[in-house]
Structure 1
Amino acid sequence: MISHTITRRSAIAGLSTLAAAVLPHGTALAKAPMLNTQAPAYYRYKLGSFEVTVVSDGPLGLGALQDNIFAGISKADFTKILHDNYLPSDAVEMDQNVVVVNTGEKLVLFDTGDGGSTMFGPKSGRLIANLRAAGIDPKEIDVVALTHAHPDHCWGLMATDGKPNFPNAQIALSQADFDFWTDEGKAAMGDMMKALVGGTRRHLIPNRERIAFVTDGQEVVPGIRAIATPGHTVGHLAFAITSGGKTLVNTGDVAHHHIVSMQQPRAAFSYDTDGAQGVASRLRTFDMLATDRLPFVSYHFPWPGLGYVARHGDAYRYFPAPMQTVL
């Protein structure tokens, strides 16, 4: 009896031989030029009578791996987590999922992307182009609701020519974040803080007359309510969006990584203003989402950032929501 052992290498070699036999000699498989472009990234669905559109500002890069991007997680451990979940470990990139809600009366934009700043890499700053591709005119935005005043969330308020990207919009955010991130005295805390405060002032101060401060539980517009979730920044807000008995929670930066923030939710993020407070807000938000089985959208989770949270022991699991293909 003859034993035949089929290996992956021999199978691939066999397929190559078969292709050579079937295709005429000299047949070209790819005559068309490569396009090297990507389709505009937006995803639209219904929430009760509201229309929700998630629009990408492009990926945000955290650069090369280092110790304690998440507190207590070494570079080696983080590398293993990424490898075990089939994620690249040479650098960390996170999506930027900007939410637009059309209530039928108001057009509300949540966060603005980073306006093309290269602070976190060269691939972001795509919001305005993707809004237009999604059929949304920035001039028609009625309200810009900021979860917080970090660069990747508010540095898209002003265009590079100094003109507002959303000239007809009222801007809503917490007073705590406005006061903290426009305080010139913070510049003495180091070069990074100097850059953050300086950049944020360029976007918030020229818009001061259009800014309305919102507090925990306050409605921004009917059907959209602020939820205080401090820690990542001093005045970080999430937003509950409710229509027709259905609720979606925009969690902003309550969590940053769809694996680490779930498996180790008590690990503070290195960019948190108050790591312990950020952990408390994350646990409280995750518990609410899991208990009430509410869908949420996370700013930095894999595109388009929509999913569910379930308890898993003393941690959690993330379940991406099935994307709907028909409205």
Structure 2
Amino acid sequence: MPSHVITRRSAIAGLSALSASVLTSARAIARAPQINTQAPAFYRFKLGAFELTIVSDGPLGLGAPSDGIFTGVSAADFTSILNDNYLPSASVEMDQNMLVVNTGDRLVLIDTGDGGSKMFGPKSGRLLSNLKAAGIDPKDIDVVALTHAHPDHCWGLIAADGTPNYPNAQIVLTQADFDFWTDEAKAATGDMMKAMIGGTRRNLVPVRERITFIADGQEVVPGIRAMAAPGHTVGHTAFVIASGGKTLVNTGDVAHHHIVSTQRPRAAFSYDTDPAQGVATRLKVFDMLSADRIPMVSYHFPWPGLGFVAKQGDAYRYFPAPLQTVL
């Protein structure tokens, strides 16, 4: 082979030698301390005249892939799905994406995260610090709208010392969810239910006088309307946000995993109260969103959970929305 021909091996060798030379000369710079912290997790965008901010409570963990997290998806199948999509397969994590809607007149927070509970791992409980980083004072929240009363959606209402985190906010959710998840009789059905009922009572009962029950189609504030989406819980609710001819749906827990819940939408989630109803609701909501190309914020999809679903055969595909660097 002629000496002037550059092979892949010789090119790599040359680059390695160059890199070694550069690294040697830059050694002093490389001693700068690593920061080892992540930037605050909030993302702000416009919807018509409304200003929307997605704020993270951090990820929650479901542990290793196992049989039964989704019906009909075995541990081996789930692991394969994760590997095929370049996702960590040793442990399943899902984000928690809260949405703050500033209508210009009212400040509405949808869901509150888990308040730092360790039930689903050590990485959550970051909502208050991320709200502060986003310039949002919890005392300024006018309405806390709960999609449902599961730990990772309402346990952030009350601080560890028993004081309300959103002291001036009206709280809205369905009566069906309030009654179900504060029913002490259900605590006798198992350790998990005991923990869930106990924690939910701690967060909802002390603020009962500030709770208003909402129904399907009811307006929370002008521009935000409740949409019944039951199945995951008895009173699970999505919120339709509309301004200036633009619409977005906060889907809550209509879906949980951005791959499994879209590519296998008939696979129920293990924490669904009524699995069959949860599947029917997911198909109905996804069909609506895909037919009308309506963007959504999905609570557990990868941060910040803003994107679209499109119909693909008898399933769907999730498309994350491009994030803007300038508002």
- What CA distance in whole angstroms lies between the structure 1 residues aligned with 2:242 and 2:151? 28
Cα 1:209–1:12 change in 2 (3 A) is farther
Paired AA for residue 126 in structure 1:
R
TM-score calculated relative to the size of structure 1: 0.96
- What CA distance in whole angstroms lies between the structure 1 residues aligned with 2:121 and 2:268? 23
Find the counterpart in structure 1 of residue 75 from structure 2.
75
Moved more, 205-214 or 25-34: 25-34
Give secondary structure in 2 for the equivalent of 1:28.
helix
Find the counterpart in structure 2 of residue 6 from structure 1.
8
Find the counterpart in structure 1 of residue 262 from structure 2.
262
Paired AA for residue 184 in structure 2:
E
Paired AA for residue 156 in structure 2:
G
Q: Is residue 17 of structure 2 the alignment partner of residue 17 of structure 1?
A: yes
Find the counterpart in structure 1 of residue 140 from structure 2.
140
Segments of structure 2 that go 5 or more residues without pairing to the other structure are none
Q: Please give the residue correspondences for 1:176-187 in structure 2 after superposition, counting only pairs within 5 Å.
A: 176-187=176-187
- What CA distance in whole angstroms lies between the structure 1 residues aligned with 2:14 and 2:257? 42
Structure 1 residue 325, shift from structure 2 partner? 1.8
Find the counterpart in structure 2 of residue 231 from structure 1.
231
Cα 1:252–1:11 change in 2 (3 A) is farther
Q: Please give the residue correspondences for 1:169-180 in structure 2 after superposition, counting only pairs within 5 Å.
A: 169-180=169-180
Cα 1:156–1:24 change in 2 (3 A) is closer
Q: Please give the residue correspondences for 1:180-259 in structure 2 after superposition, counting only pairs within 5 Å.
A: 180-259=180-259
Find the counterpart in structure 2 of residue 291 from structure 1.
291
Cα 1:12–1:161 change in 2 (3 A) is farther
Deviations 1:213-232, CA, capped at 9 Å, x for gaps = 00000000011000000000
Q: Is residue 154 of structure 2 the alignment partner of residue 131 of structure 1?
A: no
Paired AA for residue 185 in structure 1:
A
Identity between Structure 1 and Structure 2 (%): 77
Give secondary structure in 2 for the equivalent of 1:99.
strand
Paired AA for residue 316 in structure 1:
Y
Cα 1:26–1:127 change in 2 (3 A) is closer
Structure 1 residue 81, shift from structure 2 partner? 0.5
Segments of structure 1 that go 5 or more residues without pairing to the other structure are none
Q: Is residue 35 of structure 2 the alignment partner of residue 39 of structure 1?
A: no
Q: Is residue 309 of structure 2 the alignment partner of residue 300 of structure 1?
A: no
Structure 1 residue 26, shift from structure 2 partner? 7.9
Deviations 1:298-319, CA, capped at 9 Å, x for gaps = 0000111000111000000111
Structure 1 residue 22, shift from structure 2 partner? 4.5
Structure 1 residue 326, shift from structure 2 partner? 1.7
- What CA distance in whole angstroms lies between the structure 1 residues aligned with 2:171 and 2:143? 6
Cα 1:17–1:267 change in 2 (3 A) is same
Structure 1 residue 17, shift from structure 2 partner? 1.5
- What CA distance in whole angstroms lies between the structure 1 residues aligned with 2:145 and 2:122? 25
- What CA distance in whole angstroms lies between the structure 1 residues aligned with 2:23 and 2:129? 43
Find the counterpart in structure 1 of residue 153 from structure 2.
153
TM-score calculated relative to the size of structure 2: 0.96
Structure 1 residue 18, shift from structure 2 partner? 1.7
Paired AA for residue 8 in structure 2:
I
Give secondary structure in 2 for the equivalent of 1:165.
coil
Give secondary structure in 2 for the equivalent of 1:101.
strand
Structure 1 residue 29, shift from structure 2 partner? 4.7
Structure 1 residue 5, shift from structure 2 partner? 5.6
Give secondary structure in 2 for the equivalent of 1:87.
coil
- What CA distance in whole angstroms lies between the structure 2 residues aligned with 1:236 and 1:249? 14
Structure 1 residue 124, shift from structure 2 partner? 0.4
Paired AA for residue 169 in structure 1:
A
CA RMSD of aligned residues (A): 1.4
Give secondary structure in 1 for the equivalent of 2:33.
coil
Cα 1:20–1:286 change in 2 (3 A) is same
